[in-house]
Structures are given as structure tokens and as C-alpha cells.
Amino acid sequence: MAMLASSAPTDTTSCVLQIGETAGAIWKVLREKGPLTIAKLVKEIDAPRDVVMQGLGWLAREDKISIEEEARTRIVSLRE
């Protein structure tokens, strides 16, 4: 999708920017702390849970993270 040049960001642009920044924050936390459950990751990131989940989707789509299911929890880790 091509972006149109504009002086003011649209709601969609700012939303995508927020998700991208959250994905970067998730990556940094996982690099520093290692694998975490999704619940703990949400507590570590200063963003709403839905934005954290979207950031996880972003990283998963880029094949940057692994999500393992253990019992009733999911553990997220960086791919090597």
C-alpha cells in the first residue's frame, strides 16, 4: 500500500506507528529478559493489551518470535 504525502498523520498511520513501536518494545523486553508468558509481557509493556497483542502479531508475521503453548499459557521468545 502506498502512503500519500501528508503534513498530518491519519488515525490509521498513527495506529500502525503505535503497533510498530510496541513491537520494538516487545523485542527489547524479550532480548533483555528472555522468554516470557504473554501475561507477563503485557505487564512489562506500557501499552494496552490489544496493542501488545497486535505487536506480537507483527513480530510473528516477520518470523522474529516463537510462541509455545504450555498447559494454559503461551510463552513468547525471540527466534535465533
Q: Which three cell numbers stand for residue 18?
A: 503505535
What mean pLDDT is reported for the chain?
Answer: 88
Q: What is the CATH classification number for the domain harbouring 38? A: 1.10.10.10
Residue 6 lies in a domain: no
Domain range for 78 is 34-80
Q: How many structural domains are present in the chain?
A: 1
- Cα–Cα distance, 74 to 52 (Å, whole number): 14
Residue 49 lies in a domain: yes
For 7-61, the pLDDT digits (tens) are 445 677 899 999 999 999 999 999 999 999 999 999 999 999 999 999 999 999 9
Query: Is this structure's pTM higher than 0.85?
Result: no
CA-based R_g, the chain, Å:
14
Whether the per-residue pLDDT at 74 is higher than 50: the answer is yes
- The fraction of the chain above a pLDDT of 70, given in percent, is 88
Residue 18 lies in a domain: no
CB contact at 8 A, 24 and 16: no
Residue 60 lies in a domain: yes
Strand pairing partners for 78? 65
Residue 51 lies in a domain: yes
Q: Which three cell numbers stand for residue 10?
A: 491519519
